[in-house]
Chains A and B, each alone.
Chain A
Amino acid sequence: MLTFILKRIGLSVIALFGLSVLIFCICHVMPGDPVRMALGARASDWAVENMREQMHLNEPLYVQYYYWLSDAVHGNLGQSLVTRRAVVDDIKEFLPATVELALLSGIIMAVLGITLGAVSGRYSNTWIDNGVRIFSYVGIITPSFVFAILFLLLFGYVLHWFPTTGRLSAGLVRPPVITGMMTIDSLIAGDIAAFANVFWHMILPAFALAMGGMAQEARITRSTISDNLGRDYISSERGLGFPERLISLKYLLKPSLIPTISILGMDFAALFSNAFLVELIFNWPGLSRYGMNAILRKDINAVAAVVMILGILFVIVNIAVDLIVAWLDPRIRLSGQGGE
């Protein structure tokens, strides 16, 4: 088991390393001169040249890569050409907002998705089932930006149930920064009003992000439960006198969760990517909006940093999912399978 984890981590590190090379190359292939763009068209040649020297832009690519990597390891991810701050500071400010949002989305996705799917699977071919199936289809085919626009429109502008931008209403004091995640910080500080306010701001974007994944989870859970209902061990358990309720809630659910959790991992990662558009639409000051802006304005340091961070997050989520699945399914643990 331990070797399994270590091997996975090892492979992931190699992949991340390769990713860093890839993203570095991509960013440095960008047409246009980033320095000139940053300094403006009217900067003097001398200033431009100076900056180029400073950023090692005249050196061969692999040398630049080395500088970049060693800087990164020391916590220096360069300077954002857009915000003019150290990228690291930008990340410290924006990452927690995205993580917070993703966590809430993930919880919604998992809990609601699995519950809907389980109910639907148990009552196959009834109106409950059909309703959930239609809902899941809608959830899967609708792009997340469409959900974002619709929710914003309907619940924000039309019904005025939820605020439409930002994380905290104007006039409220931001809780002291400990984790950067306002919900947790406000709880730590004991500021319930702020907590409620922040949470309220989070609901619409979180749901918009969660819809697609929720629908996927519901579908997978439903079909797995439906399949497993016909399995011999369920018949056997029934035949031995296990009560129906116990079978549904325990003996059917646990094996059915296995494919669902695997997909959950992928969907959770997809959250981060869908966040690029949703954060933009809700003006949520998170890493994805920051990254999106960086991409659109060719802010190479920021882009590279954001991609790497997302890559690391993605890897962590995947490993966590693998671990959970291995815990759920003893066949993987005990027969030494799993991964490649």
Chain B
Amino acid sequence: MTDPILEIADLHVEFKTYEGPLKVLNGVSMSVQPGRRVGLVGEAGCGKTTTMRCVLGILPNPPGKITKGSIHFHGQDLLHFSKREFQRIRGHGISMIFQDPTAALNPVFTVGDQLETAIRYGSKQTASRKEIRHRALKALSEVQLPDTERILTCFPVELSGGMRQRVCIAMALATEPELLIADEPTTSLDVTIQDQILRLLYDLVENHGTAVIFITHSLGVVREMADEVYVMYAGNIVEGASKDELFHAPLHPYTQGLMSAVPKLTGGGVAEGIPGRIPEYISPPGGCRFHPRCTRAMSRCAGECPQFVTIHPSHQVACFLHSGESHG
């Protein structure tokens, strides 16, 4: 196994509010190999975006604070990076596509301006204006936008939602990052466009060999896009496995619940939801955060927090139901 390009270990994050600290992340661990596609699945509000903001170093500092844990990118400790060091690795090192392309693009500057600035500052070497422009056009055509010259002069308001998302993808990939974080890139788009964008992303990362972390709340998307999947619940990674493993044999009760909650077109049967709601982060349940909703909870679950242990080489889980079976 080659060294992971990104390694997050036991990350804890708190948000300070008037009512008290919100314990948003409660021990997140994951690792990403170079060139692999990793899916991060979880409900809205479980902490996916917060985790990724930590990786990029854009966690809003009041009120957010990293209280424990570490993040390593190519072995470098990101948590002790200065602003300058972060700025240097952003772009060609790590790049991000945001969920809402309309909010992610500066409304008063042209696409060309923003794209070219991204290329200029996100690349390893300095490039001439001509070259930057050339690369900008190339990036736009890679995301299959027509009439690239004109788009460079457009303002975001002039483009449709799908086109804006393509622009964001172009901006993220134009700097040829080693790791791309895609935060629900299709959620705010029409269903018909979603498929196109997903296919586009798939092809692009294939061609560039980029490692991707794909954040989504949709199992369907994960199934298409990812090689490995991490499942997140209420600030914890509860399960991590290769895609086939996860879908064939989900181990954590939450994952199993998610799987059965998806209505199936074939095979009949009724989709079942998971009873209960996600916990309040002000006073989360003690021990395993899922235990109040878990049908197979044991008394141990309320007291202790299960560790994230490796069951097979390609399957990890944080659950006391499987804790006796670790294989190193």
Q: How far is the CB of A248 from chain B (nearest CB, A)?
A: 12
B5 at the interface (CB under 8 A from A): no
B105 at the interface (CB under 8 A from A): yes
A254 to B155, CA, bound (A): 14
A241 near B87 (CB under 8 angstroms)?
Answer: yes
Contacts of B87 in A (CB 8 A): 238, 241-244
Contacts of A246 in B (CB 8 A): 117, 121
Among A233, A239, A328, A335, the residue within 8 A (CB) of B105 is A233
Pick the most buried of B87, B100, B175: most chain A CB atoms within 10 A of its CB.
B87
Over the window 305-340 of chain A, the binary record of Cβ atoms lying under 8 Å from chain B Cβ atoms (1 yes, 0 no) is 000000000000000000000001111001100000
Over the window 100-120 of chain B, the binary record of Cβ atoms lying under 8 Å from chain A Cβ atoms (1 yes, 0 no) is 100111111100001001100
Q: How far is the CB of A231 from chain B (nearest CB, A)?
A: 7
User: Known: A236-B98, A255-B107. Is A241-B121 also a contact (CB below 8 A)?
Assistant: yes
Instruction: For chain A, residues 226 to 251, give those with C-beta under 8 angstroms from any C-beta of chain B.
Output: 230-244, 246, 251
User: Known: A242-B117, A330-B108. Is A232-B98 also a contact (CB below 8 A)?
Assistant: yes
Instruction: For chain B, residues 135 to 183, give those with C-beta under 8 angstroms from any C-beta of chain A.
Output: 155, 157-158, 168, 171-172, 175
> Which label, helix, strand, loop or mixed, suits the secondary structure of the A interface?
helix
Interface size band for A: 20 to 34
B158 near A334 (CB under 8 angstroms)?
Answer: yes
**Residue in B closest to A233 when the chains form the complex, CB atoms:** B106
A238 to B121, CA, bound (A): 10
A330 near B155 (CB under 8 angstroms)?
Answer: yes
Contacts of A334 in B (CB 8 A): 155, 157-158
Contacts of B155 in A (CB 8 A): 330-331, 334
**Residue in B closest to A240 when the chains form the complex, CB atoms:** B118
Contacts of B92 in A (CB 8 A): 241
Contacts of A238 in B (CB 8 A): 56, 58, 87, 90
B241 at the interface (CB under 8 A from A): no
A254 to B118, CA, bound (A): 18
Contacts of A243 in B (CB 8 A): 87, 121
Contacts of B109 in A (CB 8 A): 251, 254
B106 near A241 (CB under 8 angstroms)?
Answer: no
B39 at the interface (CB under 8 A from A): no
A329 to B105, CA, bound (A): 14
Contacts of B104 in A (CB 8 A): 232-233, 236
A233 near B118 (CB under 8 angstroms)?
Answer: no
Pick the most buried of B107, B158, B168: most chain A CB atoms within 10 A of its CB.
B107
B60 at the interface (CB under 8 A from A): yes
**Residue in B closest to A232 when the chains form the complex, CB atoms:** B103
Contacts of B253 in A (CB 8 A): none
| Total A-B Cβ pairs within 8 A | 87
A232 near B100 (CB under 8 angstroms)?
Answer: yes
Q: How far is the CB of A250 from chain B (nearest CB, A)?
A: 8
B118 near A241 (CB under 8 angstroms)?
Answer: yes
B235 at the interface (CB under 8 A from A): no
B40 at the interface (CB under 8 A from A): no
Q: How far is the CB of B161 from chain A (nearest CB, A)?
A: 14
B96 near A241 (CB under 8 angstroms)?
Answer: no
Contacts of B100 in A (CB 8 A): 232
A232 to B53, CA, bound (A): 12
A300 to B100, CA, bound (A): 60
Contacts of B107 in A (CB 8 A): 233, 255, 329-331
A231 to B58, CA, bound (A): 12
Among A237, A240, A331, the residue within 8 A (CB) of B175 is A240
Among B58, B103, B117, the residue within 8 A (CB) of A239 is B58
Q: How far is the CB of B85 from chain A (nearest CB, A)?
A: 12
Q: How far is the CB of A238 from chain B (nearest CB, A)?
A: 5
Contacts of B158 in A (CB 8 A): 330, 334
Over the window 196-215 of chain A, the binary record of Cβ atoms lying under 8 Å from chain B Cβ atoms (1 yes, 0 no) is 00000000000000000000
Q: How far is the CB of B245 from chain A (nearest CB, A)?
A: 32
B108 near A242 (CB under 8 angstroms)?
Answer: no
**Residue in B closest to A256 when the chains form the complex, CB atoms:** B108
B157 near A330 (CB under 8 angstroms)?
Answer: yes
A239 near B108 (CB under 8 angstroms)?
Answer: no
B29 at the interface (CB under 8 A from A): no
Given A232-B98, A234-B106, A238-B87, 17 further pairs, Cβ under 8 A: A233-B104, A235-B60, A236-B96, A236-B104, A239-B58, A240-B95, A240-B121, A240-B175, A241-B87, A241-B90, A241-B118, A242-B121, A243-B87, A329-B107, A330-B107, A331-B108, A331-B155
Q: Which A-B residue pairs are the 5 nearest by beta carbons?
A: A241-B91, A241-B90, A232-B103, A241-B122, A330-B155
By a beta-carbon cutoff of 8 Å, the part of chain B in contact with chain A is 53, 56, 58, 60, 83, 87-88, 90-92, 95-96, 98, 100, 103-109, 114, 117-118, 121-122, 155, 157-158, 168, 171-172, 175
By a beta-carbon cutoff of 8 Å, the part of chain A in contact with chain B is 230-244, 246, 251, 254-255, 258, 328-331, 334-335
A-B contact pairs, 28 of them (CB 8 A): A230-B60, A233-B105, A235-B98, A236-B96, A236-B104, A236-B105, A237-B118, A238-B58, A238-B87, A239-B56, A239-B58, A239-B95, A240-B95, A240-B171, A241-B91, A241-B122, A241-B175, A242-B87, A242-B117, A243-B121, A255-B107, A328-B108, A329-B107, A329-B108, A330-B155, A331-B155, A331-B157, A334-B157
